[in-house]
Amino acid sequence: MYLGIDQSLTATGLTIYDGKDFIYKIIKTEKTKGTKCPTIDYTRRLLIIKKEIKKALDDFNIIFAAMEGMSFGSRGSTIYDLGGLSHIIRELFIEEGIGFIVIPPKTLKKYWSGSGNANKIDMVKVAEDKGYDISLMKNYGNKKKK
């Protein structure tokens, strides 16, 4: 089984592929309201995501994973949190002996859709045109289905 990850602190997307079928999962985390130490709260959320990915590795007997790399255009303090998430997931793969690859976002989009600047809606459209049934959610996973 193979695993694809689109990491996010709000809604990390997992796609599991067994050679025939796809399974989609979303790992959601939320900020603790009124926290006096948001950086520790972010660490708590990273650990939740790591634990849920570990569960998927075990439940689906994952042998290889691919994850989207960091966007070079990202700005603000969020990049530190996403960088931490990226490395905590890599650490998990190394600890579990899972082979993995990190794919730059523009490379992934260009391979899949022909354009390195494709947005999520464009990507889903290409997937549907290729016969894949991928549901798109408003705000990409943290709201109701479209």
pLDDT (tens digit, 0 to 9) for every residue of the chain, 146 residues total?
Answer: 999 998 888 888 898 998 888 888 999 998 888 888 878 888 899 999 999 999 999 999 999 999 988 776 666 667 777 888 999 999 999 999 999 999 887 777 777 777 777 777 777 777 778 777 766 554 544 444 44
pLDDT at residue number 31: 86
Span 2-103 CATH architecture: 2-Layer Sandwich (3.30)
Q: What is the CA radius of gyration of the chain?
A: 15
List the structure tokens of 16. 């599991």
Per-domain residue ranges of the chain = 2-103, 106-146
- Contact residues for 88 (Cβ-Cβ < 8 A; gap 6+): 46, 47, 49, 50
Please check whether residue 27 is in contact with residue 46, taking contact to mean a CB–CB distance below 8 angstroms: no
User: Are β-strands 2-6 and 99-103 bridged in parallel, bridged antiparallel, or unpaired?
Assistant: unpaired
Strands, sheet with 22-28, edge to edge from the N-terminal-most edge strand: 22-28, 11-17, 2-6, 64-68, 99-103
The model carries a pTM of 0.79
